[in-house]
Each structure stands twice: as C-alpha cells, then as structure tokens.
Chains A and B, each alone.
Chain A
C-alpha cells in the first residue's frame, strides 16, 4: 500500500497537453501564412522546431537532467514553432539557429528551465535577431506562390545580398512607418504603396491567428484576460490617435490586423510562465503590452513592437504579482498588507 499522498481522483491533463493544444492552435495561422507567403514559412517553423528540440536536449545533457520528461512536455517545441512563425519567410538556417539558441538556451534553460524563465523565450530570440540582423529580419517578401523562386538559396544562406533585396518588399507597417512626415495618410494609401494583395494577405493571416486564439480560449487553455486587455488598450489608443489626426495616424483596424498584433495577443503575451498571475495582474499586463505596442509603433524606431512590448512587460511581472494579490475571502476589505497574517 502506498502511504505518501492520497492518490488522484482523476489526474488533470498534463502540461504537455496544454503545450500541444497551443501548437495545434498555431496551425490556422501558419497555414494562412504559408498560403500567402509560400513554403518559406513551413521551412522556418520546421527548422526552428528542430533546432529548439536539439538545443533543449543539449542543455539538459549538460545539466545532467533526464531528457524524456522535458522534451515530452513540448515546451521547447512550442517555443521553436512560435519563433519560426514570427520570422520572415525562408529565413536562412543560421539566423533561425541563432534565434533558437538565444530563446531556448539563454532565455529558458540558463534561467532554470521550464517555469523559471522571466522572459518570453521566443521573443528574446526574436528581439536578439531584430537588433543584430536587421536586414534579414525585415526581408518580408510580398505575397507569392507556394513554392517561391530561390527558396533553397534563401534557406541555405547562399543567395547574394543583392538578390535578396530584389526579392523582398515592405510589410504594411514598414511602409506606413516610412512614408515620411509630409505625406498624409490619404495620399499614402492613394499611392498604392504596397504590391497587390499585401494588405489582404496580412489581414487574412491575422484573422487566422484570431481563429486559433479563440480556439485556445474556448478550450480554456488560455484565459481571456491578457488578449482582451491588450487588444482593447491598443484599440482605445489607436482610436484616440486616429481621432486626433486621421491624416497622420493609421486607423485602429489597421493596427489590429497588421504586424504581429493578433498573433502576439493570443500566442505570445499569454505565455503563462512570463506573464502576471492574478486576474487583475493579467489585465494590467495585457493593457501594458497594448500601450507599449502603440507607443513604439507610433513614436519609436521600429515599425512593429510586439516583441519589445512583451519583454518590457515581462520585466514588470514581479511587481505586478506583488501589487495585485487578490483579497482572499474573509480578509478585511480595506487593505491586506497590514500584517494580518501575523495576528494568529
């Protein structure tokens, strides 16, 4: 007879189950991206996933930890998939590898592995790549066929730089950011600045991420607090900007369906390990990301800002956790930090 603890009346679905559901929920988004931007997306995701598992295994080996439980929990796999999905199509293998090492080895394992990382691993990898290799990270091609030309050359990194430039185009956020102060928004759009179908493609991709995100909320894998507060705060701020000067600022709708807004809201900001824990903390966390994204997009040097916003809010999590402790049932309504606990 076992003496230790009362056994399980029914074990809750394990961590791996949650991770796998998140991976499943990325499929619509990845599918839509592949549809519009070609197999370069699939290669990104597959390479990143593969590298992530390899990097995780390697570090576990160094740390003398058993491999199977950590690899089976699929957390490294998920980090790889998320990082892969945020890179420009057909990124070269070394770029992906560098990002994965930053994500899995530095951001996750060096801090103690699953559950101990203060920063979102995928976004650490992404941010490192963005500041270190800006040219490669902004090479978003316009929508293209499923098998684009030079796919292999790009992935293997053998294509010369000049050829790369020719293949790439601007993302809508890029284009709008660099339209110049003098150009009014109406003039900018009238100019048809983007290749045919670009805006459509980005919008549909965003909607696909939204579908995946709703699936996660429906399956109760993630709670609604962070995505909703992030999207609401972005919408409110974007509306304020837009209402104050429609000729200068992009519409709220534009902000919601371009860049990594919806992907970030449902798949990045909701990483439980690096997010705030209490419900109130989550609302503030999400809202903070929304505000930072809008501020950086509008006034900062980068066209998109989800990665930086998430990382900055990760920094605030310990503080949020301390100041958003809910009042337990039966505690006095006024304030809890009065040393009530010591009275017994």
Chain B
C-alpha cells in the first residue's frame, strides 16, 4: 500500500529517549487510592458500595449511569473509607486480593456477551478522551466497518506508553485487535506506527505471522510527524480516507483503537479482569527513574512521582499527557485515572514558560502546519473579537486542537487556548438556546415514567387477577374478541418503542463520540424517555397477555 499524507504537521523534539530506555516496571502498591467517579466521557458513575465495605481488586464500586458512562472497580483490596460526590477512597490492606470474572473465549462467545463484558469491566479508551469501549464495540449496529485501525503512532513528544506496551505485549495487543475486529465486523486490521519506535516495530513484526486469523493484519510504518496520531490524520495516512467534518471514523468504514485499550479489552474478556490498572509513562527531568510503569488507577500522582524519584526542588510543573495537547496539573494530589497516559515532571529549563505574546503579523506559519487546513491566524483574529459567526464560517469546530500552530507562531500567541475558549463560548450559547427543548424533554420523561409506573401497576394487578381466576374457570367469553386486537396493537407499540430506544441510543452514541468532553444530558433524557416508554409497552403487553392467556401463542 502506498503512503498517503495529511497536510501540515510539525516535527517537534520528541524527547522519548528519556522514558523508553528502561524496562517496563510495576509501581509499588499504593497505600490508598482515590478513584474519581468520572474518569470517562459522559456522566459520572453511581456508587454502589458504602463506607466501611471491604472490597477486593476488581469489585464493582460504582455503576455506570446512563449510556455514555462507565463502571468503576476497586483497584486495591481494602476498605472503603470515604465516598464524596466525585470520588471513592479505599485504604489498601496490602493483601492485593483479586476478584476476577469468569474467563470468556472471544472466538466462541457471542458478540453480545463480549460487549457486555467490556461494559461490565468499565473499559474506556486509554488514549485520550476515555470514551466507553462497549459503545464503540457496537458500532456495527449503525455503521458497516471494513477496517480496524490500531493507532500506535504515539506522535506526542515524551510519551512512550504505547511503545512499551507493544514491546512487551505485542501478541496480546494483536489478539485484542482480533477481538475488537470480530465485534465490529472489520475485514482487515491495519497497525499504524511511527518509525521512531524500532523495538516496538520489531516486536510487532515478530508477532504478526501468528495473529492473522480470523482477520488479516498489516503493519504500516509511517514517517514521524506530529500529529500523525490524530485519528483523522492517521486514517488519512493509512487508508487515504477523509473523515467528513463533524463525522466519525465509522462514517468511512473505519474504527480506531489504541494499543493499550486493545490490551485491556483482551484482559477483560480472556482473564475476566476489569480495568483497574494501566501503563503510564513517567518522564521529565525532575525525576530520577523515568520510564513506564504499570500503575493502579487512583494512585495519587504525588506518591507515584515520589516512587520514581521526584526531585521537588527542580520541579517546575507536572503535565498530564503530552507537552502539545496535555494539561498542566494544578495539584499533585490528583490521582492516576483511566486516561492518564503520561506524567511529565518538568524542570524550568526543560519546559520554560512561553515568551510573552506579541501582535500577530499574519505571517502564515500557522496555516502551513495546520493538519486540517484551517486559517489559524484568521481564527485568532475573530476569536479575540468574539465574532462567532465568522469563526463558524472558518470551521472553528474542525480544529483538532493539536497545537501545531502555537508551536510555530513567531508571535508566541496561545492560539489553541483561544480556540478552546471560543468553542466553549459557542457551545454554551447553543446550550442556552436548547434549554427550552431540554425542559420539554424532561417533562416528557416525567410523563413517560408516570405512564410506565401506572402500566406496571396495572400489569401486576392483572397478573394477580389472572392467578386467582385460573383455578376457577376459563376467561369470561365476552373478553375473547377485544384482547386479540388489543394484543396486536400492543405488540406493534412495543416494537415501535424498541425502535425508538435504538434510535435514541444511536443519536447519543454519535454525539458523545463526536464531542467526548461534553455532557449530553438532553440526549440522555431522551434515551431514558424512550426506555420508559418501552418498559411501559412491555408492561401493557404482559398485562394483556395475562388477561387473555388462551388467545396468546401466535
């Protein structure tokens, strides 16, 4: 296959050698863990444990709430000591006792079971946005997927977590890819990796011949150029397909997963292991033992960095993620979450603060590196002037926030920071206008819930009645005509309600994947309404069947 290209891009210093020289290690077990209820896109999970409960590793702590959400499991064994609105704290007992689910064989298990397993295990994408994997695994419901792309590009400087994952677990990652390919119905798997990871490439090449069944896997080594690991850029590079603006890879028959997610998916299925640990790159000049570590979720970052030999007096700032797209930490008390792929403990000399901003001279350096072919300097102009119409005309929402423009800007303007603020402002405006709709949808939900409760009550009464009547005699002759007609229309109503639920799920899944960092309350409400309606239809149908048991069995 020839190599295709995305426009723009930059080659920043990659500084990966700081963390890719040492072997993969396991961080010491934390004394206590703080597990945020929201480590994923969508709504926070709802706690199902109480303070004082004893838990083992893998026990469910919080249940997903709504469709776009994820389960949360204990990452150490011990006692639940604190439950706040946003976190659950566990004091470890040092025993590290595990509770695993029964193993499944992905080759033979039904797809529904596999999806349910991914859901139960609280799997989310480990690359960035933390999108629930079980939703992505059902993409075949509304898109026909031909290619599964394994995104091993890892184009951000500093980060080497995928690199080390592949060096150590190439076999498992490829098997995980086979598992996901089976779920989404892909005909081929393409692994995309930048050429600055020779050892990972070697490991993949060695493993490839053994994992060509049932789906063929090809390896594509691409040139090192940021941001080739962006979903859109990688798919362009590997498959020469453009994801439409506002669209998803599924729209063009592709699905993208990162190696860590595939590994975790395989462990969830094959070993019954919920997502309780991940590989994290610890790097930066302020730590003595940089490298990659298996880290339990919820491990306090301070303890983790101390374990890696943090020199506090040299520390200037800690960045979660890469230096391009990552975020500086405001406090070291934050824990490692499902999406923490890298922690950079940087010294001042290493990542000095940006020089102060000077006026834009419209030099166009930003435009030439933009991988989406936007006009960053024009966007900058309108973002500062808060001219939202112009921003949307210039396709602000196509910006992937890769920061390449800020990187080359001679005026050192924090361009992407401005774009994020502008996007947020425009989103808030849209939410404001959608508020009336949301109120209406909430009202509809309430109506649906009341109707469902009423229907269920009726059904229970009918069931009791039917039970009472059964021994005495047949159903009264007068009721024999109407229930049949009733039954048919009720069945139709139930099918319609089912379809409505499917549709609401699809709309929500799409919206959530497009905008993983936003809340989609309105769509969740609409989905809940549809689900209530379905339950009500089920109850009415059950009631009618109970009323006319003889006439059933078509």
Contacts and interface: CB of A to CB of B under 8 A. Distances in A.
B216 interface: no
Nearest first, the 4 A-B pairs at minimum CB distance are A341-B392, A115-B359, A7-B351, A330-B245
* Interface size bracket, B side: 35 or more
A325 interface: yes
B371 interface: yes
A110 to B, nearest CB: 15
A343 B397 CA distance: 11
A7 B353 contact: yes
Nearest to B414: A5
B102 interface: no
B78 to A, nearest CB: 31
A326 B371 CA distance: 12
6 contacts: A10-B407, A273-B361, A328-B245, A329-B6, A329-B371, A331-B395
B425 to A, nearest CB: 14
Contacts of A14: 355, 358, 410-412
Contacts of B316: 1-2, 7
B353 A8 contact: yes
Interface string B309-351: 0000001111100011011111000000000000000100001
Contacts of B247: 330
B394 to A, nearest CB: 6
A219 interface: no
Interface string A183-214: 00000000000000000000000000000000
Interface of B: 6-7, 12-13, 157, 232, 236, 242-247, 315-319, 323-324, 326-330, 346, 351-356, 358-365, 367-368, 371-375, 377-378, 392-398, 407-412, 414, 417, 514-515
A2 B328 contact: yes
B346 to A, nearest CB: 7
A342 interface: yes
Interface stretch (A56-64, A238-246, A274-282): A274-282
Contact of B410 (A15, A278, A326, A331): A15
A329 B398 contact: yes
B227 to A, nearest CB: 12
Given A12-B412, A330-B243, 8 more contacts: A4-B328, A6-B328, A7-B346, A18-B363, A277-B377, A321-B378, A331-B395, A340-B395
Contacts of A4: 328, 353
A327 to B, nearest CB: 7
A340 B395 CA distance: 8
Interface residues of A, number: 48
Nearest to B344: A6
A332 interface: yes
B362 A344 contact: no
A275 B554 CA distance: 77
Contact of A277 (B317, B351, B355, B362): B362
B354 A11 contact: yes
Contacts of B356: 69
Nearest to A3: B330
Interface of A: 1-15, 17-18, 69, 73, 75, 113-116, 223, 272-273, 275, 277-279, 282, 321, 325-332, 336-337, 340-344
Contacts of B346: 7
Contacts of A273: 361-362
B267 to A, nearest CB: 32
Nearest to B351: A7
| A113, A273, A328, A329 interface centre (most CB from chain B within 10 Å) | A329
A1 B411 contact: no
Contacts of B417: 5
Residue of B245, B351, B377, B408 with most chain A CB atoms under a 10 A cut-off: B245
Given A115-B360, A343-B246, A277 B367 contact: yes
A341 B393 CA distance: 6
Contacts of A75: 361
B245 A277 contact: no
Q: Identify the interface centre among A8, A13, A75, A328: most chain B CB within 10 Å of its CB.
A: A328
Given A6-B326, A7-B317, A114-B361, A329 B392 contact: no
Given A6-B328, A325-B394, A223 B13 contact: no
A18 B410 CA distance: 8
A297 B354 CA distance: 48
A17 to B, nearest CB: 7
A23 to B, nearest CB: 15
B236 A329 contact: yes
Nearest to B246: A344
Contact of A272 (B6, B363, B375): B363
A223 B367 CA distance: 12
B358 A10 contact: no
A337 B393 contact: yes
A328 B391 CA distance: 13
A228 to B, nearest CB: 15
Nearest to A1: B317
A330 B365 CA distance: 22
B367 A278 contact: yes
A113 B375 contact: no
Contacts of B362: 115, 272-273, 275, 277
Nearest to A317: B362
Contacts of B393: 325, 336-337, 341
A326 to B, nearest CB: 5
A139 B372 CA distance: 51
Contact of A12 (B329, B361, B365, B514): B365
A328 B354 contact: no
Most chain B C-beta atoms within 10 Å of own C-beta, residue among A4, A8, A114, A321: A8
Contacts of A279: 367
A7 B515 CA distance: 26
Contacts of A9: 12-13, 157, 323-324, 351, 407
A277 B364 contact: yes
A49 to B, nearest CB: 19
Nearest to A11: B355
Contacts of A329: 6-7, 232, 236, 242, 371-373, 398
B232 A13 contact: no
Contacts of B360: 115
Interface centre among B236, B243, B367 (most CB of A within 10 A): B367
A114 to B, nearest CB: 5
B376 to A, nearest CB: 10
A328 B242 CA distance: 10
B283 to A, nearest CB: 13
